[in-house]
Structure 1
């Protein structure tokens, strides 16, 4: 019997925020990304084995790692900011 299993990496944009990039010093939109590694069987994702979060500058591509709490705070900040405008 042949079982096909492996892992897949899936990136998902959680929110887009705008602030000053620490790399290029430009006020640009920043994508907050969740990257999840999932174990799959017959190409069907079964469960997540790891998650990591990071932000990518749309101007220069500079990438900064985030904690889960920082990513969550970014989502909450963007939600509050949108409600105010």
Structure 2
């Protein structure tokens, strides 16, 4: 008997808000992206192994990890 398993990583854009970039220092639109890594068996995703929140600058392309509280602060500033 054999099992087909693997890892799949997907990115989903949560929202875009105005903030200053950590890299270039410019006040520009920042995308908040959620990246999920899932374990799949027979091409069916079963478990989420890792969930990461990222802030990506649309001006310079700099990407950094953010916490849940930083994501909520950016979300409240976006709307």
Q: TM above 0.5, one fold? A: yes
Q: Which runs of 5+ in 1 are unaligned?
A: none
Which of the pair is proportionally richer in helix? 1
Alignment root-mean-square deviation, CA = 1.5
Q: Which runs of 5+ in 2 are unaligned?
A: none
State TM-score, norm by structure 1: 0.79
Q: Per the alignment, in what secondary structure is the counterpart of residue 60 of structure 1?
A: coil
The change in CA–CA distance for 1:42 and 1:76 in structure 2 (over 3 A counts) is farther
> Structure 2 CA distance, aligned partners of 1:76 and 1:26?
20
Alignment of 1:10-49 (within 5 A): 10-49=10-49
State TM-score, norm by structure 2: 0.84
